[in-house]
Structure 1
């Protein structure tokens, strides 16, 4: 199992050499959201499309 530090290094290493700090942080945040979404899905912490539409309508 890879550590969080190893995962962050992998994500950064996949970026171009001329990437900015802001782009690195954005990519790490994006990967975190994806990873958390996979965990939520695996643990059945999901809602239906109808529930999401209802939540969006309340905005």
Structure 2
């Protein structure tokens, strides 16, 4: 498990979401793998939000 130390007593929502993704990865994951997984997670979540609004396009994912 990776501990993320924040400057305040509370973590922000984006940090909490990033922490959840990072905790699913192997300890040996490279920096590039971590960034790729975070980007993939964001694209999936954004796509789901857009599909709920019925505004899904390929361009809206990037």
Larger CA Rg, structure 1 vs 2: 1
Which structure features the higher share of helix residues?
1
Secondary structure class of the residue paired with 1:36: helix
TM-score normalised to structure 2 length: 0.69
> Which runs of no fewer than 5 residues in structure 1 stay unpaired?
53-59
Q: How many residues in Structure 1 have an aligned counterpart in Structure 2?
A: 47
Instruction: Give the one of 26, 51, 56 matched to 1:41.
Output: 51
Q: Distance in 1 between matches of 2:25 and 2:48?
A: 22
TM-score normalised to structure 1 length: 0.72
What is the RMSD of the two structures over their aligned residues, measured on CA atoms? 1.9
Q: Which runs of 4+ in 1 moved over 6 A?
A: none
